[in-house]
Amino acid sequence: MKRKLLTALVSATMVMSLMAGCGSTDTNDAAETAEPAAEAEETTSEEASDDSAASGEKLVVGFAQIGQESGWRDAETASIQEYAAEHSDTVELNFADAQQKQENQIKAIKSFIEQDVDVIGLAPVVETGWDQVFAEAQDAGIPIILLDRTADVDESLYATFIGSDFIEEGKVAADNMATLIGGKGKIVEIEGTVGASAATDRKTGFDEQMAEKYPDIEIVASQTGDFTRAGGKEVMESFLKSNPDIVGVYCHNDDMALGAIEAIKEAGLKPGEDIKTVSVDGVHDIFEAMVNGEANCTVECNPLLGPLFFETAQQLKEGKTVDKWVKSVDGVFTSDVAADVIDSRKY
């Protein structure tokens, strides 16, 4: 708030001194010219952005990123940083990489509050533990945008969530797994980071769809691989030892599926044939695996959220309200189309 107050005082002083320079000494005139300019027409974020450039007042954003746990996360980070670099005349990005630790994200948010940024962005590594620091941001008058994962807090503590419907992703994954294995057989599930909304909800969607529609499919084991390739491989190795007769594996992201595929091959089995794979994200490497016949299906989850994030931040800076959930539109891709689309993929 300090930065914004100072800016307002400087601007008002500049206006008054300019008017004083024009020979007007009447305090009323000076006071009148210090009033805000006539209400501008509704502007688009570009025009607003140009206005902020013209006024020299940039949109200052602090973003607390989770880390670098997956190809999807790297694609999201690139989308955010590239947008800021391409719009450096109107946008200033303070970026923090939390190395997948919530305490580092909380520290980053506190420092953004100290810096008095206009908007705080956060991909919450887990859903809980945010109430206090979100309240501090609210007290400082700084809106929070949740990006790609939700937080378990009162809706009043954040401005909007920009991201996918993870429960729907889980349901779509279940339907595709059922198709791949003919509606019956034993499968395993490799979960994302414990406590992360993307993991919790992808599990809910998948498991509930299986229970409701596919009684002849049994999930014989489910364990977290923490959204990493190494984690997916390690968990799949243990699953294969204790469940030699499984016919499918559902992974909450593609990186864990790519790790599981390595484990399946090292066990002398054929991924994509002996054991069908369904995962979520739509990263380039899973399309390569599908082209090679080693993976079967990926449910897309768009990470290229940089432009939408900054446009939403600009709207919040202008005092506009935004929808509480700005939902990503995602597709689903199976191995039969992988070769046709892989070259057009943007991440």
Nearest distance, CB of residue 303 and ligand GZL, angstroms: 7
Nearest distance, CB of residue 76 and ligand GZL, angstroms: 8
Residue 163 lies near ligand GZL (rule: CB under 6 A)? yes
Q: Which stretch binds ligand GZL (CB under 6 A): 70-78, 112-120, 236-244, 312-320?
A: 70-78
Residue 198 lies near ligand GZL (rule: CB under 6 A)? yes
Cβ proximity to ligand GZL, 118 vs 189, nearer residue: 189
Q: Which residues in the 282-321 window bind ligand GZL by CB under 6 A?
A: 301
Residues 6 or more apart from 106 whose CB is under 8 A from it? 129, 130, 133
Residue 205 lies near ligand GZL (rule: CB under 6 A)? no
Crossing angle for the helix pair 45-55 and 306-317, to the nearest 10 degrees: 60
Residue 281 lies near ligand GZL (rule: CB under 6 A)? yes
Nearest distance, CB of residue 280 and ligand GZL, angstroms: 6
Nearest distance, CB of residue 295 and ligand GZL, angstroms: 15
The span from the CA of 91 to the CA of 196, in Å, is 29
Which of 48, 105, 146, 148 binds ligand GZL (CB under 6 A)? It is 148
Query: Do residues 263 and 233 touch, judged by C-beta distance below 8 A?
Result: yes
Query: Do residues 152 and 178 touch, judged by C-beta distance below 8 A?
Result: no
Per DSSP, which regions of 45-131 are E strands?
59-65, 91-97, 119-122
Cβ proximity to ligand GZL, 49 vs 253, nearer residue: 253
Burial of residue 111 (CB within 10 Å: 0-12, 13-18, 19+) is middle
Cβ atoms within 10 A of the Cβ of 77, count? Answer: 20
The span from the CA of 347 to the CA of 284, in Å, is 6
Cβ proximity to ligand GZL, 265 vs 327, nearer residue: 327
Residues at the site binding ligand GZL, with contacts judged by CB under 6 A: 69-70, 72-73, 148-149, 163-164, 198, 227, 253, 255, 280-281, 301
